[in-house]
Structure 1
Amino acid sequence: MTKTIYILNGPNLNLLGKRQPEIYGHDTLEDVAKNCAALGAEFGLETDLHQSNFEGGIVELIHEAREKAAGIIINPGAYTHTSVAILDALNTFEGPVFEVHISNVHKRESFRHHSYVSLRADGVMAGFGVQGYELALRRMAVLLG
């Protein structure tokens, strides 16, 4: 049976590749989806990528993942630093959770140094560009073995 990994993305990540490429690079979210699907297939994992600019949309996807996913990879964008609701939703999920940030948030503004999501995450990838998603997926494959 194939295990599904939800890859959740927060606000403005629909503009990946267009918004501040000097920080976030030129790859698009579609590129991330394709790369993760190919890598996941190598490990017998199916990936299901979603993006929402709305906090409640992300919470709903986490609730859905409780029934449909073995693990979650999440880049909550700006909600990283503000959303107790996303943290609370992640705390209801029983599988592994990995937090991904394309940029190294610790080299940026001080408000970006705090993450509510990290309180639940089993690991954090920050500063690896979009390859952070693939690193998280590789670790997920090991944990779900």
Structure 2
Amino acid sequence: MKFSTREDIEAPIEHVFERVSDFASFERRALRHGADIVRLDDGAYQVGSGWDVSFTFRGRERRMHGELTEIDPPNMYQVYTSSDGMNITTEVQLVALSRGRTRVAVSMDLRAKSLTARLLLQSMKLAKTKLTKRFKARVLEFAEDIEDAYRKGS
């Protein structure tokens, strides 16, 4: 199952890429929401950088492994995430529309590898319209935050 959306941001591509690839801030955000994160490398974020994440969801402890599989600054990056029953490929692509305007395209491709995950995906397909709307709203909110930060000069 695939979710995708795109937004135009009034900021240069370099600034947008810096914000959408700020993995350290994503790690801090997940920690604030109760996740446990173990970074599997100690250097700069590059192909092969990875994370082991555990969190509680619907009363059960869940574990995921994420890995940065492709990065091409300032154009795109891809993260592959796997858990017990599901694989998720997330891709963020940037296109400079002008010197001060950037288009961000975000896509997530979810694939089941167990019966339980297939059942979960099937129920998600029934609610796809609602989930797509929420996905687009989150990306729009993030895009607006990037735009606001650029206007304020941070």
When normalised by structure 1's length, the TM-score is 0.31
Higher Cα Rg, which structure:
2
The structure that is helix-richer by fraction is 1
The structure that is strand-richer by fraction is 2
